[in-house]
Structure 1
């Protein structure tokens, strides 16, 4: 019995040692962060910037609550924060250090910082002085785009620009185009933002896996509620982009604008009563900037007409015909028209994938029509051939009414266009020279055409434009017009006004322009090309110019 008691005693000791060893292992993997040190570098130039440098024993990440309704996270303890409340203010900042297993400890400090930044105009435009709702501008080209973060703003989404309604009919249309973004303000300090996304968010492919979606299958719509309204602070932009408003929107609690790219700060490139254009640096890739356009027009109304008008009974100021080409011969009149050949630079600046030729297969006159044909075929290193002609140095004019009767090329990826470019293009370049797009058509959106104006500050994805619904664009002829006066530029389709633009002496639309007609493939506006595409033609019955 004595030996049995001794054996039991040894077993109890062994169990106690084992238990202590297991406990020690658990504590080792869940050590509480300690010795939190917080150093700050507070600006004195009115910018409101404070640089936090935090360290702690046994910490692997740090979270900040800045006392102004915003938060931030840092892996190495370094965080640059801009406080935007005007004047000299004191903030109570809570720094939480997290260790393994989620164990945390915190430290609270106070910082006094002065900020003199203010942009009441942007706040007024975003909120309407009270509350205003915004929607993804699905009807606009480039409503979603991406380019290098070092770009100059409006013309920078060179890697990708979504075509109008490109996501329509796809899964993303239910969690992207239908988002309702609401900016609200009550008093000087209370500026909030709420995103109603119907319980689902459109995630960039790089973040899909982090939020429970299938990886390797591109951007995805995933169930993810954006939660309660966020506080918004305005900060001065540091990008140096000349075309920017100079203001950044910073959302609390990791708020974002419709398309999730891991960013909570959005630079306002342009804003007015009805449109908003922003850019944000991608959260996991500082070399990429994403661009988003918003409008006050709800998605359903955009689908109905893209914001276009329907004003009939237009009375022209110009009724005297002074130029026409009826294409009655059997060859292109080269005393009026020039062939443009090649692919330009970066697909004529738009990422287009066709090679323009002067061959009859791509440009010909037949049966009273000019026919420009895009063909799927290898041509000088490109997968498609097509045609582009212009009147540069042969027929140029200032002011008048241009009328073109045409039947458009169709098929996914086609991009036929009838347009005009400033005659000093070769001297001042684009967009300084100005561009008037009488008609652009996207084969991926067969029931819609659009007209546009490009000039400094409103070019590329930020052009001034409107779309209008159309039927049988590829099977029947329609008349596309522009009435160009010193005061107004008005676009019409089949005699009905699409939209008008106020011209003045400060715009580049007060000098000679020349005409261009072409069929592009792919690119920023043409979008994805149907793999089954073989060839398609744009037929022009006539071009007439009145003064």
Structure 2
């Protein structure tokens, strides 16, 4: 564990120089922050290493009466705004160096107080592999990975082991509306090396910046949603690499931070210029950034070295599987056949997704030639909603083939129906190691958008491997949802149109038996906020059929 010793402003390594207050008497009511106090923790400082452990990292804490925000100007070309007054910064010039740090506490009516200090820090951090991948050894341009799921997402920042942006994950090309794509998907981010082997960041956002809702008011927006605004960050910035200090997710493979000078940003402005690289390859980069306004959150971004074009024309589908081997037509009205279907009862701690329903046997019946699973707003075993979840585990399992389900979906904010497959060795190996194939997922908060997704080690949760497609009227009429699964590939289709393809391989978990699961969840990490007026809605399934080779 790193040794962290608090260093006061009067200590040898942090020397107080000046403090003053500035009042702007022309803007509204004035409340000048007072009693500004700044402390620092130089990471790894000890008697043997008085200037730190070589990471160059200093944790700052500022407090003042009547302060709304704190701006830290670090004296090395970098600056940051923090609402809490807590921040961490890595000084990257190798050796022992002095940095003049200015902290500005801002109050109402334009009033501010500032304090200038000097901090002496030792740095010997170097990550040549990440520098090579980021710059290509000379120059490399990156673009937002618009075609990938979760190319923009958000989740909690705290806690190791957090692996995905579970609060929200953008579907492929979700931000393709003209007013957003013009300042997000067209951004060009170039990282190059200068003659001194230092990183230079050239950013082109065409004069518009995609700004998080918490900051739109600072740039003339209405503060109601994320917006593209005339905040031109096009230009050249210094960039440096430093070690992460925030506790990275367990699936992160690097942990190096990109620091951009002058308040620079990487396509999505959240008030911070430090981006943690979770994973980087020669062609892909996955980063997260913790916003200055809310350190409880982390925003996730994916970049690629090839600019994604609009969705390709649908593939022409020719099935390899024509032999019907298993069928459920639900022609006999009455209870569900428990020799084929297993009921899973309860809430099971939210089923790993913070879901709000309690599953029962009463919410699934066969009527009018359809299997009907109904989610209801009713008190059930201490939960506010009831529904059903049924599986074919141990009764029918299969490997490879074409599975089709003709279904009409529920509606209402918070509904989350799914038709999916789970590996038969789930009890032995757990999730996501077992593999998951989501033939169809839908959420009432994104009406008429269908998702097809694969979950497996390294690509699960909000980082899953999937695609989506707009299908009008999914709650008004039946549509056919299909997965074609072979040793070579897995295709996802709606009404015969391919919208996502996965290249299968011998090392994937998708080369063994899987069983079928049908359920309607309420709320949770994907279902989202539930409409308070919701009463009940059903998923109706006309048939499920599995085809294999002769």
Match of 1:497 in 2: 498
TM, length-normalised to structure 1: 0.74
> Structure 1 residues 382, 90: CA separation in 2 closer, same or farther (over 3 Å shift)?
same
CA–CA separation in structure 2 for the residues paired with 1:494 and 1:272: 36
Match of 1:343 in 2: 347
CA–CA separation in structure 2 for the residues paired with 1:122 and 1:343: 48
Asked if 2 retains the 8 angstrom alpha-carbon contact of 1:176 and 1:202, the reply is no
CA–CA separation in structure 1 for the residues paired with 2:431 and 2:531: 30
Match of 2:393 in 1: 392
SS for the counterpart of 1:427 is helix
Greater C-alpha radius of gyration: 1
1:204-215 correspondence to structure 2 within 5 Å: 205=214
1:130 to partner: Cα distance:
4.5
CA–CA separation in structure 2 for the residues paired with 1:76 and 1:412: 37
1:154-169 correspondence to structure 2 within 5 Å: 154-155=163-164, 157-158=165-166, 160-162=167-169, 164=171
* 1:319-352 Cα shifts (integer Å, max 9, x gaps): 222211111112311111111222222x222222
CA–CA separation in structure 2 for the residues paired with 1:467 and 1:128: 36
Corresponding position: 1:243 with 2:251: yes
CA–CA separation in structure 2 for the residues paired with 1:181 and 1:278: 16
> Structure 1 residues 329, 521: CA separation in 2 closer, same or farther (over 3 Å shift)?
same
Match of 1:481 in 2: 482
SS for the counterpart of 2:420 is strand
1:189 to partner: Cα distance:
3.4
Corresponding position: 1:333 with 2:337: yes
1:71-86 correspondence to structure 2 within 5 Å: 71=79, 80-83=89-92
Match of 1:290 in 2: 299
Match of 1:5 in 2: none
CA–CA separation in structure 1 for the residues paired with 2:543 and 2:526: 25
Match of 2:430 in 1: 429
CA–CA separation in structure 1 for the residues paired with 2:429 and 2:543: 31
1:514 to partner: Cα distance:
0.9
Match of 1:468 in 2: 469
> Structure 1 residues 309, 536: CA separation in 2 closer, same or farther (over 3 Å shift)?
farther
* 1:147-201 Cα shifts (integer Å, max 9, x gaps): 142232424x44x225649997999958986673523435553431526385555
SS for the counterpart of 2:265 is coil
CA–CA separation in structure 2 for the residues paired with 1:250 and 1:377: 51
Q: State which of 130, 134, 158 in structure 1 corresponds to 2:143.
A: 134
1:141 to partner: Cα distance:
5.2
* 1:127-158 Cα shifts (integer Å, max 9, x gaps): 89745353375983583212142232424x44
SS for the counterpart of 1:348 is helix
More helix by share: 1
Match of 2:444 in 1: 443
1:43 to partner: Cα distance:
9.9
1:123-202 correspondence to structure 2 within 5 Å: 123-124=133-134, 130=139, 132-135=141-144, 137=146, 140=149, 143-155=152-164, 157-158=165-166, 160-162=167-169, 164=171, 180=187, 182-185=189-192, 189-194=198-203, 196=205, 198-199=207-208, 202=211
> Structure 1 residues 47, 456: CA separation in 2 closer, same or farther (over 3 Å shift)?
farther
Match of 2:31 in 1: none
CA–CA separation in structure 2 for the residues paired with 1:355 and 1:258: 41
Match of 1:311 in 2: 315
CA–CA separation in structure 2 for the residues paired with 1:99 and 1:151: 31
CA–CA separation in structure 2 for the residues paired with 1:384 and 1:278: 37
1:461 to partner: Cα distance:
0.4
Match of 1:514 in 2: 515
TM, length-normalised to structure 2: 0.73
Which consecutive unaligned segments of at least 5 residues does structure 1 have? Answer: 1-26, 31-37, 55-59
